[in-house]
């Protein structure tokens, strides 16, 4: 990652980094299959044993699996699914991006810029959120509850659509073959849904979870990653790792997505090795100086509340300060 000459960043040996970064396409493929199979089984269960209570449980379950698939799309963004870049991108588009009406190529452009310019004026993730009250902290408990409830009830659907559209802002027009392939994907999918009489199942079991549970957990997880983080040892804050229990891993933070500080420091490490990376980094003083660790998403939300000892991090200060002090590399070099 180009950290060897920066004494303020946690370091790993070449052997450790090589082992952690090694790809296991079978492991990634297995996870993709499990997520999709869980969704299919949940739809079958609810459609054959309908009840409103079961539907709510299934919608939550499917929304969580949708989130898991998007995390795997993020893996594809860093070329962490397959050793072949072409296969990596094909799987990423067909199975992980296009079903969510976004493209891997547009998300990659946005996400790599986020890695290179984290929490600065050049960070596209930050720029989108600067003037949005949903991303300004601290907040009162009632304000946080109302914000997340609005997500859960689908009241922020338009905002979610606008967010997904911004990924392609400023992107060069894709090749004609790519445009035709994507159009063909949606036409074939629509024809199959209409032809098999399952369009209503798509709306009920894909669109509803997408704009309710998925919208809420995406918002909550994004807050946890870079917002409302107290200063640590006098250093500006902006990276959080969230420790999670079993229920949170199933419903809010699947596929080790809570290890966000570790991912930013070593983006070449695939999701299934992030827990091991965390165990190697946690004892290091350099890691504890940079990363803030919260216990669960309840702990994250408690840090969003007004508190005398909590800092009020101004967007953009963290990344700029780290660059000026030489504490963070000017450009991250993901290992692809």
Task: Please give the C-alpha separations between residue 134 and each of 145, 178, 218, 274, in angstroms, as whole numbers.
Answer: 11, 35, 13, 29
- Per DSSP, 122 falls in state T
Could you give the angle at the alpha carbon of 110 between the alpha carbons of 294 and 221, nearest 5°?
A: 25
- Establish whether the linkage from the previous residue to 330 is cis, with ω within 30° of 0: no
d(CA 102, CA 41): 24
Packing angle, helices 157-166 and 213-226, rounded to 10: 60
Task: Give me the DSSP letters along 108-144.
Answer: HHHHHHHHHTTTSTT-HHHHHHTT-GGG-----HHHH
Contact 113, 203 (CB under 8 A): no
d(CA 167, CA 111): 9
**Which segment of 141-145, 171-175, 295-299 scores lowest on mean pLDDT?**
171-175
Of the candidates 288, 125, 108, 322, the residue with the CA atom closest to the CA atom of residue 330: 322
**Which segment of 5-14, 262-271, 327-336 scores lowest on mean pLDDT?**
327-336
- Taking only the tens place, the pLDDT of each residue in 130-161 is 888 888 899 999 999 999 999 999 888 777 77
Residue 126 has pLDDT above 60, yes or no: yes
Rounded to 5 degrees, φ, ψ at 319 are -60, -45
Task: Tell me the whole-structure pTM to 2 decimals.
Answer: 0.88
Rounded to 5 degrees, φ, ψ at 294 are -115, 150
Instruction: Write down the domain spans for the chain.
Output: 14-325
Q: Measure the N-to-C terminal CA separation of the chain; round to a whole number of Å.
A: 10
Residue 333 has pLDDT above 50, yes or no: no
Of the candidates 264, 319, 322, the residue with the CA atom closest to the CA atom of residue 120: 319
- Taking only the tens place, the pLDDT of each residue in 89-121 is 999 999 999 999 999 999 999 999 999 988 888
d(CA 123, CA 119): 6
- Taking only the tens place, the pLDDT of each residue in 50-82 is 999 999 999 999 999 999 999 999 999 999 999
Q: What is the mean pLDDT of the chain?
A: 87
Residue 232 has pLDDT above 80, yes or no: no
């Amino acid at each position: 990652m180009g950290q060897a000459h920066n004494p303020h960043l946690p370091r790993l040996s070449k052997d450790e980094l090589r082992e952690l970064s090694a790809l296991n396409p079978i492991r990634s493929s297995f996870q993709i299959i499990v997520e999709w199979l869980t969704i299919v089984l949940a739809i079958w269960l609810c459609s054959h044993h309908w009840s409103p209570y079961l539907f709510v449980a299934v919608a939550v379950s499917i929304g969580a699996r949708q989130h898991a698939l998007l995390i795997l799309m993020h893996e594809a963004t860093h070329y962490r699914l397959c050793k072949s870049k072409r296969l990596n991108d094909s799987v990423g588009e067909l199975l992980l991006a296009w079903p969510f009406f976004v493209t891997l190529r547009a998300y990659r452009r946005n996400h790599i810029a986020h890695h290179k310019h984290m929490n600065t004026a050049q960070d596209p993730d930050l720029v989108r959120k600067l003037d949005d009250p949903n991303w300004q902290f601290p907040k009162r408990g009632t304000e946080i509850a109302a914000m997340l409830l609005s997500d859960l009830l689908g009241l922020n659907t338009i905002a979610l659509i606008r967010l997904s559209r911004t990924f392609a802002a400023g992107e060069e027009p894709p090749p004609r073959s790519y445009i035709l392939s994507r159009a063909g994907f949606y036409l074939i999918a629509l024809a199959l849904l209409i032809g098999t009489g399952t369009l209503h199942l798509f709306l009920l079991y894909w669109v509803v979870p997408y704009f309710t549970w998925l919208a809420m957990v995406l918002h909550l997880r994004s807050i946890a990653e870079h917002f409302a983080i107290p200063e640590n040892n006098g250093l500006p804050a902006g990276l959080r790792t969230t420790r999670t229990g079993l229920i949170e891993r199933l419903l809010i933070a699947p596929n080790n997505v809570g290890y966000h500080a570790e991912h930013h420091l070593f983006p070449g490490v695939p999701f299934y090795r992030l827990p091991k990376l965390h165990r190697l980094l946690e004892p290091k003083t350099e890691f504890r100086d940079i990363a803030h660790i919260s216990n669960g998403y309840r702990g994250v939300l408690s840090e969003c509340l007004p508190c005398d000892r909590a800092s009020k991090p101004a967007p953009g200060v963290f990344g700029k300060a780290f660059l000026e002090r030489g504490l963070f590399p000017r450009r991250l070099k993901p290992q692809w």
